[in-house]
Structure 1
Amino acid sequence: MDIAAMIPSDLGVEIAAFVVTVPPGFDVGAHVHAEGMELFYIIEGTLDLFAFTPVTFQGPWASWRSPTEATAVQAHAGDFMFVPPGCPHAFANPGPEPARMFFLTSTPGHESYFSELAQAVTSGADQDAIIRIRARYGIEQLTMPRIPKSKGHEDDE
């Protein structure tokens, strides 16, 4: 996952904005931020998105339903999703091509979290390590992230 900061957190502002390239097969894993809102805007490609409190947290997040029967949606270029503080959410790239999204958050330093998470998962970090990373950034993990093996590393599986 590539991350290009547009409003880096070191400017001392209360937001961070960046463009994220999401590789095919990547799933950030369902999670909750106690503080801070997020906004996702799809620039190109397709992403599965959800942002609601599910009736149950069992099974993959893409199958979860809200009390009003809301489900995950497939978003395309031009679509956006707002996530208020405390709302469970996730995104995943189900397609064969990378997707790009503009990401705005009221949690400065979030680009560092994304970079650290991507590095940990691609290096084979275990679930406890992922939980510790997310906890450092005030994030409760609901499902594990999934980052596909890069081309040329198919033998590693």
Structure 2
Amino acid sequence: MTDLIVPAGAGRKLVTPAQEVTFKATKEMGSSVSIFEVVVPPGFDVGAHVHGEAEEFFYVLDGELDLMAFEPVERTKDNWHNWQSPKGDRVIRAGEGSAMFVPPGTPHAFRNATDKPVRMLFQCFPSPVHEDYFEEIAEIWSRGKAVDAAAVEEMRRRYDVEQLTPLRYEPPVHLPSQSATERGA
């Protein structure tokens, strides 16, 4: 077995209530690009943000994500879901096989607005910026179910992330199903 071949399901995992990240290629392996498989749960919204130096690539493996990568006409602070670029670009619901490349300085975001987990492949250059970032955000998420917005904001500043809209994790609420008798059937 070689350390440079990572079989399906293998790799170092960080599991939190908000996401599951599996490290596939890292600086420790000699890579200048960090590559991760990420499971994005229903209700997760990374919030619009921008990196001054890092470039990123997202590839949807299973499911659908709302994706955005452009400078909007107006940066609203609450959410990015209705942003529009000067050319008319809008948020896209992207399915399996869709990709998003994000050059440095480009506002971008993703969210899982569906009721199923989404798997994506995520790359970041240079390595190990996002490796360290995922380690630290996993620590913040492990402190409880609610997002500690101040801790996330402080951490993101250190990792070249200007947060434009809030990171949110609002899992869908599933009401218990009624029996046929309760529905009056």
* Category of TM-score, reference length = shorter chain: 0.7 to 0.9
Q: Distance in 1 between matches of 2:80 and 2:159?
A: 21
Corresponding position of 2:153? 131
Q: Distance in 2 between matches of 1:32 and 1:66?
A: 15
Structure 2, unpaired ranges of 5+: 1-18, 174-185
1:147 equivalent in alignment to 2:165: no
Q: TM-score, normalised by structure 1?
A: 0.88
Corresponding position of 1:108? 127
* Percent of residue pairs identical: 42
Q: 1:95 aligns with which of 98, 108, 114?
A: 114
SS at match of 2:137: helix
Amino acid paired to 1:74: R
1:52 equivalent in alignment to 2:70: yes
Q: TM-score, normalised by structure 2?
A: 0.75
Q: Going by fraction, where is helix more abundant, 1 or 2?
A: 1
RMSD: 1.9
1:64 equivalent in alignment to 2:94: no
Q: Distance in 2 between matches of 1:71 and 1:114?
A: 28
Larger relative contact order, structure 1 or 2 (CA cutoff 8 Å, min sep 6): 1
Looking at CA atoms only, which structure, 1 or 2, has the larger radius of gyration? Answer: 2
Q: 1:27 aligns with which of 45, 48, 66?
A: 45
Task: Specify whether residues 20 and 40 from structure 1 end up closer, same or farther in structure 2 by C-alpha distance, changes over 3 A only.
Answer: same
Q: Does the 8 Å CA contact 1:32/1:139 hold for their aligned counterparts?
A: yes
Corresponding position of 1:7? 25
Query: Hey, which bits of structure 1, 4+ residues long, moved more than 6 A?
Result: none
Q: Give the length in aligned residue pairs.
A: 151
Q: Distance in 1 between matches of 2:152 and 2:160?
A: 12
